[in-house]
Each structure stands twice: as C-alpha cells, then as structure tokens.
Structure 1
C-alpha cells in the first residue's frame, strides 16, 4: 500500500469510527441516569472496541485471505464465527449491565440482547466492508488515472520530439539549397537558424512556453522560408490580442504552417500567399490560409506534422479544442481553437 493511500484510508476510518461512537453514545445516553456515567463510558468503550476489532480482523485477515481468493464458503464461515464470538462477549456484558446494574428485570434480556447485537454488528460489518471497497475502488481509479496521464505525457513528449528533427530536416534542406546557389542570404539564414536552434534546445523543454516566444519562433521560421522560397510570396503573420498571460505547448502551431508551405505555396511560382492570423480572446484562435496549385492537392497527406498535431491536441486538450481543415479547389485553410490558455 502506498503512503498516500495509507494516510487517506486511516483518516477515513478514523472519521467513520468517530461517527459510530457518537451515534452509539447518543443512542444509549439513557444509561447515564440509569447506570451512572462510569458504566455508560465502559459500555461505550467495550462495544466500540469490540466492533473495531471485529472490523479489523475482517478487513485485514478474512477478506485478503479468503474473499479475494474466491474462497467464499470459508470466508462466510469465519465471518459467522467472528460475529458469534462477538455476540457471546457483548451479550454477556449486556446481560450483566442490564440485569444486575440497572435493575432486577432480567427476563428475556439475553435473547433480546443477542438479536440486537447480531443485527447491529452485521450492519456495521457491512458498512466497513462497503467503506473498504469504496476506498479501494477510488484509489484504484486514481492510480489508473495517474498511470494514464503518465502514459499520455510520455506520448506527448515523444510526439513533440518528432517535431524538432522534422523541422531541422527542412531547415537544413533550405540552407543547402542556398549554398548550392552561393546566395548572399545564406549567412543570414545561418543566423536565423542559430536563433531557432537556441529556442529548440534551451527554451522549449518545458511543457508550456510563453505564447510570445512561440510567436517569435514562428516569425523567424517564416523569415527563413521567405529566403528559401524566393518567389515573392505574400507571407503575413498577424497577431491580435494580449499575449503576455498566455502559455502554449512548444511547436503546436508550427505543423500547420509547415504543411501550408509543403503542400501550398512552395509549389506555386506566381502569386503565392500564406496568411497567418493569431487572435487571443477567451480562446486562442490560429488561422492559416494559403493557396494551392490545383484540386488534386486537396487529397495529399500533410505528413507526420499534422498527424502529430492531431494526436497532441487530443492528448493535451481533450474536449477543449477544435481543428477545422478546409480543402478548397484553390486554397487551403486551417482553423485551430484552444480553450484554457489565457
């Protein structure tokens, strides 16, 4: 049993027995006037101590040894024997208390005491069993949830790790193309790539980063693409709203933009455009609109970028995001909305 579960269970059982004690004291308060305070306290102490001992034996010995091992007959036999032993002790004490301490009216008290103790003991025993199974069910559910969240986080980290090599592969291809052409833009691209790598290696290791840094990263990426494209494409990045209080998982917007370049404006020679709008209100809204070469490209796959994005969104923001992808005849638009970011 883990320490957290042990502590929580101990407190729950403590509260349960305190309530049982209070109920019993209230139910037998008449003994204070009839038998006196000492006998009243002794009666309560004896009954509660016996009930606690009965419950402890059942929960810690009988249930693990017999019930959990599906030895049901032996379990119920031992429970009956346990209750019988309790009845003998408690009923003899009650017979003495009610018969000799309170008064001489002893006729029929033993049988009445047996029936009373049997019903109440069985009830308390069932309550403790129900309480144990409730605690075990809750702890098991909590543990499964923690395991599930750990697995989801592991998968998110794995999916995120795929983004970095994917981007680096594209960036190096861009740089290679410029060096082949002996372009004067190559040094500027190396500087931009260095800034991007610094962000990737040192600033994006957290689960979330400031949205402002992610937008700056995206801006540098677009500058690199402008250098590589060289086709006069109309590339715009517009940010509306306050980004100061917003945080976002790193590289969450990039796959949409990469997909727009890969299947959109990189294949258009003239009048290519890519318009990115980021709006911060109650939700974060990202719109990426670009034109395409022809209708057939509407059915092309977005590669691992968009596939990873969809998985990450499902893992990070279940029921708290929408991702709409609209493939038209001449343009492609993606709208991403995420709640609980700002």
Structure 2
C-alpha cells in the first residue's frame, strides 16, 4: 500500500483518516498559524511572550474546533442531507460561541494589558473576528469537499479497474472454448492423417496457452510477446479455415523494447473472425496491418462480411471491453475506430506510448 494511503486513527475518536489527508490539513493549519503569528507579532513587544502565545493559540484552537465540528458533524448530517436551515443555524451559533470567547480575550488584551488601546472599538473587534472566522471556515469546506471528491474518484476508478480486470480474467480463463474446440478438432484430424502440420499446431497452441496463463497476468508485457501471441492465433485460424480463406497479417517495423497491456491487439482480430471469416465457408478474407515505431503502435483489421449477416455470436473479450480497458490504461493516448459497410468491416487501433 502507498504510504500516503495508509490509515491513521484520529485521537479521541473512532474515526480514521489517510496520511495524505492528515498532511494536507496539517499544512493548512500550519499556514493559518503562521499568518496569525505574523499578524499579531506586535503583541510580542507590547504584551510579552505569554500573552502573544496565548492570543495565537486560543485563536487557532478555537478555529480548529469549529472547523472540524463543521466539516465532520454539521456538513454531513445537515448540509449534505438537504437540511440547509439547520446547518446554517448551527454554523452561525458556533461562530457566535467563538466570537464570545475570542472577543472577551481580545478585550482583556487590548483593554487591560495594552493600556494605549483601552478604548478599542467593540464593533470593530466583533466584525473582524466574525468575518475572519467565516473566511477560514469557507476555506475549510471546499478543501474537504475537494479532497473527498478526489478520493471518491480514485475509489471509483479503482473499482472500475478491478471490475474490468475481473472480466478480462474471467474471459481469459475461458480461453475462448469455441476456438479451442475447433483447433483440437483440426489437430485430431491432422494427427489421423499424420500431417506434418500437427506438431507445429501443437507448438503454437502451447505458446498461446503459456502466454494466457502466465504472461497476461502482468500489468504490461513486452510488445514482441503480444505480437507473437497474435501471430500464433492467426496461424491456427488459418489452419482451421483452410485454403478457401485469404488471411494475412502484415507487420511494418519492429518492437523497440516497448511494453503494452496484454491482450489489447487480439480483440480486433478475434472480432473479425467472429463477424466474418469464421461465419463463411468460402471466399472469406481478413487483412491486417500492424505498424510499429518508437512512439506508437497502429493496427488495422479489415474483413468481408457474410452475405446474410445476422447477429454476431457472443463471447470473447470484445471491442466494448477493449474500449473500456483503453480508456483506463491509455486515457488520451489511444484511438479506436470502427467502420461497417454493407460487405466489409474495418477496425483501427492506435496507441501512443508514454514519453
């Protein structure tokens, strides 16, 4: 767990908070205290250190008390539940309590300790304390709401990532049973014929299973492994479909040590087989182009559609799931476009690598 996300128990309560939350609030009150130290520094010379320290401590402690009473009690119980009059009434009452204590202390300081300011204006004192308190409370509320909103967004994103990863893991655990069923049937037929293609088919299937069971658990994998998995998938599908299908993948460029999230390229090809080649017995085709450079990867897959297209069978990772993963993993650095015509379907994916 990240150090900033560690939980800390709040003294004298049953509540906990994060290290990050505590650091932000500590920094805020250090700044407030520093401001009062600077503003009241003249008391150090006129009233002495004890009265100077007491003035600052009383003011800051009272502000902290009403600030956290507001954000941890009044705010969630009344403002966020729509009981606005109750909320504002309690805020005003808490400020009046602060004004009473602070103004009495100010009167003692300025009326008896510092003789030259004995006739200090009460209206001025009350006005200053009231509006300064509103100002600091007004800063604390948006600070808390901003932190809560940020943490909520982080939590929602974490839940979305975990949910999506669970979906990918489930789909990976299925290993596309329809695909495996067809491959094993073809492998059985090849072994009966004692075909030289059988050992190569077993090797490619073994490499695919190894990648899916082990490598694809990682957050990122070497790009060459992802491409190798894709090539094995296409080669096995070519064997399954036979000579009546035109299936080709052209690769421009070479991997330059880049890493990519696993199973991002397969959905484009898998979708093409599901919607096109896999649903036609002859005259089917699938053409893919993969372009690699040091900053990006681009892939296009185009296939013909059967003359009487019906609803595509369900299964596989799918383009919908792919788009969700891209939005979470490569926000602002990807493009996924699809184009469907009467007889063809085209999908294009582009991912920009981080600098």
- Using structure 1 for the length normalisation, give the TM-score: 0.79
Say whether residues 1:277 and 2:289 are aligned partners: yes
Alignment match of 2:336 (pick from 296, 318, 322): 322
Aligned twin of 1:3: 7
Distance 1:264 1:327, change over 3 A: farther
Flag structure 2 segments of 5+ consecutive residues without an equivalent: 9-16
- Equivalent in 205, 209, 216 of residue 217 of structure 2: 205
Q: Give the 5 Å matches for 1:1-342.
A: 3=7, 5-68=17-80, 70-103=82-115, 105-107=117-119, 109-179=121-191, 183=195, 185-231=197-243, 235-258=247-270, 263-264=276-277, 267-268=281-282, 275-281=287-293, 282-288=295-301, 296=307, 299=309, 303-304=313-314, 308-318=317-327, 320-325=334-339, 327=341, 334-340=347-353
Gaps of at least 5 residues in structure 1 are none
1:260 and 1:176, CA in 2 relative to 1: closer, same or farther beyond 3 A?
farther
Query: Do 1:209 and 1:249's aligned partners in 2 also have CA atoms closer than 8 Å?
Result: yes
Counterpart-to-counterpart distance in 1, 2:37 and 2:225: 65
Q: Which moved more, 1:39-48 or 1:57-66?
A: 57-66
Farther-moved stretch of structure 1 (237-246 vs 159-168): 159-168
Q: In structure 1, what is the Cα distance between the partners aligned to 2:89 and 2:65?
A: 18
Q: 1:323 to 1:165 in 2, by over 3 A?
A: farther
**Partner Cα separation in structure 2 for residue 323 and residue 243 of structure 1:** 23
Q: Render the CA deviation track for 1:110-153: whole Å, top value 9, x for unaligned.
A: 34323322222233233323332332233223322322332233
Name the larger-Rg structure. 1
CA distance in 2, matches of 1:96, 1:54: 22
1:314 to partner: Cα distance? 0.9
Q: 2:267–2:319: 8 Å Cα contact kept in structure 1?
A: no
Deviation, 1:58, is 3.0
Cα 1:41–1:241 shift into 2, 3 Å? same
Q: CA deviation at 1:222?
A: 4.1
Give SS of 2:257's match: coil
Aligned residues: 335
Which has a greater percent of helix? Answer: 1
Distance 2:162 2:257 in 1: 27
Let me know the Cα RMSD of the aligned residues.
Answer: 3.6
Q: In 2, Cα distance between the equivalents of 1:64 and 1:117? A: 26
Question: TM-score when scaled to structure 2?
Answer: 0.76
Query: In structure 2, the residue corresponding to 1:243 is in which secondary structure?
Result: coil
- Write the distance in 2 (CA, Å) between the matches of 1:212 and 1:332: 27
The one of the two structures with greater contact order (alpha-carbon pairs below 8 A, sep at least 6) is: 1
Matched position secondary structure for 1:245: coil
Which SS does the other structure have where 2:336 is aligned?
strand
8 Å CA contact retained: 2:110, 2:120: no
Corresponding residue for 2:12? none
